[in-house]
Structure 1
Amino acid sequence: MATKIIVLAIYVSILFLIGIVASRRIKGMSDFYVGGKKMGFWAVAFSARATGESGWLLIGLTGMGAIAGLSAYWVVLGELLGVFVSWFFMAKRFKRQSDSYGSITVPDYLQSHFKSTTHTLRILAASVLSIFVIIYVSSQIDATGIAFESFLGINYFAGALIGFFIVLIYIFFGGFVAAVWSDLFQGLLMFFGLILLPIVVWFSMDHGQSIVQGLHTIDPALTNIWGGNDDVWMNVFTILGFSMIGLGFLGSPQVYVRFMSIKNEAEIDKGKWVAIVFTLLTDAAAVTIGVLARVLFTETGQDPETVFGTGATDVLNVMTENFLPYIVVAIYIAIVLSAIMSTIDSLLIIASSAITRDFYQKIFRPDLKDNELTKISRIVTIIMAIVALGIAMTIALVSPDRQVFWVIIFGWSGIAATFCPVIILSLFWKDYSEKGAIASMISGFISVIVVKFVFQNMESVGDYFVALDVLAPSFVVAMLFGWIFSKLYPKKEEETTKDINSIIK
């Protein structure tokens, strides 16, 4: 236990040092929210991937590999495609346009892109962002408490509070720069930790039979890449649900604000290869860890449904305890916390920008100076973090047997379905209008809630929508409503011409 505490103390000290050094670069609002748009490709690529993956990568995806078997690799393909399209086809366009508008937040970009004369679009974007970000952050705080309890035997509530204060302190001082630099450090830990574990476990296992044979012995469905369900349509919906998770990389604000922060387009060309390699290797490794764990847990007579049911922290815990030296086990605790905290810091800054920049300054106090706004941003960050902490604690008390990762996916899907269709259409369709964007955001937001709480509970088709999850259908609805309302309420001709010129430049 002492070794684990020492390693954790070193990890936290590095994060605090990053926050202190980063604080020296905070001179104004642009520095606090997008690092003055001077970030390098290594930092941005690792930060975008660490933020986009969150605790889902180390805890959720490993658990999915254990429960679903080989069909879980569809998630790897889906996320890889999402990252590929985002970095290769969207990042430069978004960077070019957001720079031309002088935007430092996604609502800034939308307001400028559609040349809105009202605050409707900005208020809508900031409101939805704030709601789902708080939900998302609360789920990550919840995962922090579970991780501390599983790995260190610390009380859940004490662990959640410790993780909460660690993140809050370093982003309070360093803002976006601290978040990105810490994401680079934490992303490196995640990268090497995920790749190392399945390799070590593989060489330590008894290879009397192959892993595929072992899975097939447990359940033939685990070796069927198509899902193995007798209902063909259930297999189709499951595969779509797995692979469509990658849609969230096509415009989510917590990811795309990193494209705003990068120095120039040349850095994007370098960073895209870092992002692709990171996604391919870490996602594949996470699923492989789960697959190996399923075989190992079954061989030792443990019930995998019980072990993996609460978020699968026990997958990494038992796997590391059994196969790695004790000092490396301690480092893995930091790796799990890195996956969670790298998302919390970014989301808190996004939520703070929505309230401070997009509500308070742009609507009520446009005369407010940057240095005053930076102070307010820090206060708002603390308030929103406390709200998220309160939600996490409440959920833990009310629902001790909760499935923590459905909350993570729900928050992720809510942000993605609201913003991704809008970002895609704004970048590639010249006739996309402000009314269409508003329709996309509202319909995407509502659809996530309707699919989750209505369609998934219907007797006849509910199971299919559970397999499909909320993101894919909500994404389609938002795209469709955006197209319909853009046709009903088209842009003025001069606005369309300006948009074409801005893309060509």
Structure 2
Amino acid sequence: MNTKYIILFLYFSVLFLIGYFAAKRIKNTKDYYVGGKKLNFWVVAFSARATGESAWLLLGLTGLGAMVGVSAFWVVLGEVIGVTVSWFFMAEKFKKLSDKYNSITIPDYLVSRFKPKGNTLRIVAATALSLFVIIYVSAQIDATGSAFESFLGWNYFTGAIVGFLIVLTYIFSGGFVAVAWSDLFQGLIMLIGLVGLPIVAYVSISSDVSISQELTKLDPSFLNIWGEGGLTLINIFTILGFVFIGLGFMGSPQLFVRFMSIKGISEIKKGRWVAFVFTILTDSCAVLIGIFGRYLLTSIDANPEDILGNGGQNVLPLLVEEIMPLTLIGLYIAAVLSAIMSTIDSLLVVASSAISRDFYQQIYKPKKTEVELAKISKIITLLLAVFALIIAMIVAITTPERTIFWFVIFGWSGIAATFCPTIILSLFWNKFNTKGAIASMITGFLSVPLFKFGFTSLDGVGIYFEKLGELGPSFILAIIIGIIVSSITSKQYVNSEIKSITE
């Protein structure tokens, strides 16, 4: 046990040092929110991937692999597609435009892109971002408590609060610079931990054993890529739901702010390959950890409820305890916490910027100095974090049967459905306008809870919407509404112009 705490102490010491040195580089809000737009491709690529994965990867996706087997690789496919599209087809264009507009937040970019007459666009963007970020951060705080509980036997609430205080300390001082460099450090720990564990697990399995045969005995559908029952309609909806998770990489603010922070286009061209390889390795290994963990833990007569309870999210901690030496268990605790904290810090900076810059400075107090705004940003960061902590505690008390996988996905879906369709259309469709952007964001924002809680309760078809998830249909609907509203308002504008000319 002492070894675990020593490794954790070293891990947290590095984070605090990063925060300390990063604080010395913060001169203005541009530094605080986007690192002065001077970060290199290694930092940005690892930061984007560490932020995009979160506890969902190490506890959620490993658990899904243990529950459903190889069909969890559909999630990997969706993630790879999403990362590829964002880095290879969207990043360069977004970087050029955000630099042209001198944007340091996503609402900044949208306002500069559409040049609206009022503040409605900025208000809608900042409000939606703030609300869903709080939900997303609360899911990560929840995962922090679960991680400390699983690995160290701590009380859940103690672990959640300790993790919350640690991440708040280094982000409070160093802003985006601290976030990005700590994400690089944490991303490396995640990569090493995720790639190493399935290798050790595979070596631990006797060569006389046929893993595929044993897994099939446990669950006949475990190695069926289509899931239980084969290629059925319900499984098609399930697969689509898994693949649609990757849509969130195509414009989510906490990820695209990384493209604002990178030094230049040449760095994006290098970073895209780092992000691509990182995604394939970490996501595939997460599923393999679940699969190997299901077999190894079952073969030692572990309690099935311990393995598959709560969506299988205990598989990684149990497997680490079973096959890893004591000196490395601390590394895996750090890996899980890395995934969690790299997401919390990024989200808090993004939400803080939305409120302090897009609400407070741009709308109400445009004459505030950089020094004053930096102080306000830190206060808002603290308040947002406290709100998220309160929500996490409430959910933990009222919904003990929740799983990390779907708790995180709801917050992820809300941010993605609100912003990704708007970002995509803003980059690739010249006729997309202010009214279309507002309509698209509102549609995505409202559709997520509607599909999550409304359509899933419908008799007969509810199960299909439950399997499909909320992100895919919300995303598609937001794009459709954005196109329709832009097309209608553009025609109205053209017709009025023609009428004024003829008169």
Shorter-normalised TM-score: what interval?
Answer: over 0.9
CA–CA distance in structure 2, aligned partners of residues 492 and 185 of structure 1:
52
Tell whether 2:197 aligns with 1:188. Answer: no
CA–CA distance in structure 1, aligned partners of residues 173 and 491 of structure 2:
43
Tell whether 2:387 aligns with 1:387. Answer: yes
CA contact 2:59–2:313 (8 Å) conserved in 1: yes
Q: 1:371 offset after TM fit, Å?
A: 1.2
Render the CA deviation track for 1:213-266: whole Å, top value 9, x for unaligned.
222111221111111336711111011111111100000000000000000000
Tell whether 2:369 aligns with 1:369. Answer: yes
- AA of the residue aligned to 2:385: A
CA–CA distance in structure 2, aligned partners of residues 143 and 12 of structure 1:
17
Number of the residue aligned with 2:88:
88
Alignment of 1:4-19 (within 5 A): 4-19=4-19
Alignment of 1:121-200 (within 5 A): 121-200=121-200
User: Residues 304 and 473 (structure 1 numbering): CA distance in 2 closer, same or farther, change over 3 Å?
Assistant: farther
Render the CA deviation track for 1:275-326: whole Å, top value 9, x for unaligned.
0000000000000000111112332334545533325442122211121111
CA contact 2:78–2:245 (8 Å) conserved in 1: yes
Alignment of 1:22-421 (within 5 A): 22-229=22-229, 232-302=232-302, 304=304, 306-310=306-310, 312-421=312-421
Between 361-370 and 314-323, report the one with greater CA deviation.
314-323
Q: 1:491 offset after TM fit, Å?
A: 8.1
Q: 1:192 offset after TM fit, Å?
A: 0.8
Give the secondary-structure state (helix, strand or coil) at the position aligned to 1:223: coil
CA contact 2:254–2:347 (8 Å) conserved in 1: yes
**Number of residue pairs matched?**
494
- AA of the residue aligned to 1:227: G
Tell whether 2:441 aligns with 1:441. Answer: yes
Q: 1:404 offset after TM fit, Å?
A: 3.2
CA–CA distance in structure 1, aligned partners of residues 336 and 273 of structure 2:
24
CA contact 2:29–2:374 (8 Å) conserved in 1: yes
Q: Give me the identity figure in percent.
A: 60
Residue segments in structure 2 that go unaligned for 5+ positions in a row:
495-503
CA contact 1:147–1:313 (8 Å) conserved in 2: no
CA–CA distance in structure 2, aligned partners of residues 491 and 121 of structure 1:
21
CA–CA distance in structure 1, aligned partners of residues 180 and 152 of structure 2:
27
CA–CA distance in structure 1, aligned partners of residues 491 and 55 of structure 2:
41
Q: Output the TM-score relative to the length of structure 1.
A: 0.96
Give the secondary-structure state (helix, strand or coil) at the position aligned to 2:221: helix
CA–CA distance in structure 2, aligned partners of residues 220 and 312 of structure 1:
18
Q: 1:53 offset after TM fit, Å?
A: 0.5
User: Residues 230 and 199 (structure 1 numbering): CA distance in 2 closer, same or farther, change over 3 Å?
Assistant: closer
CA–CA distance in structure 1, aligned partners of residues 378 and 78 of structure 2:
36
Give the secondary-structure state (helix, strand or coil) at the position aligned to 1:449: helix
CA contact 1:150–1:313 (8 Å) conserved in 2: no
Root mean square deviation, CA, Å: 1.4
CA–CA distance in structure 2, aligned partners of residues 174 and 116 of structure 1:
33
CA contact 2:63–2:314 (8 Å) conserved in 1: no
CA–CA distance in structure 2, aligned partners of residues 485 and 467 of structure 1:
30
Give the secondary-structure state (helix, strand or coil) at the position aligned to 2:208: coil
User: Residues 231 and 194 (structure 1 numbering): CA distance in 2 closer, same or farther, change over 3 Å?
Assistant: closer
CA–CA distance in structure 2, aligned partners of residues 304 and 239 of structure 1:
25
- AA of the residue aligned to 2:347: L
Render the CA deviation track for 1:372-425: whole Å, top value 9, x for unaligned.
100110011001101111111111122223223322100000000000000000
Between 445-454 and 303-312, report the one with greater CA deviation.
303-312
- AA of the residue aligned to 2:425: L
Render the CA deviation track for 1:13-59: whole Å, top value 9, x for unaligned.
10000000000110000000000000100000000000000111100
Q: 1:199 offset after TM fit, Å?
A: 0.3
CA contact 1:432–1:491 (8 Å) conserved in 2: no
Residue segments in structure 1 that go unaligned for 5+ positions in a row:
495-505
CA–CA distance in structure 2, aligned partners of residues 239 and 230 of structure 1:
11
Give the secondary-structure state (helix, strand or coil) at the position aligned to 2:310: coil
CA–CA distance in structure 1, aligned partners of residues 311 and 391 of structure 2:
18
Q: 1:149 offset after TM fit, Å?
A: 0.8
Between 294-303 and 152-161, report the one with greater CA deviation.
294-303
Q: 1:335 offset after TM fit, Å?
A: 0.6
- AA of the residue aligned to 2:54: S
CA–CA distance in structure 2, aligned partners of residues 304 and 229 of structure 1:
22
Alignment of 1:453-492 (within 5 A): 453-490=453-490
CA contact 2:320–2:329 (8 Å) conserved in 1: yes
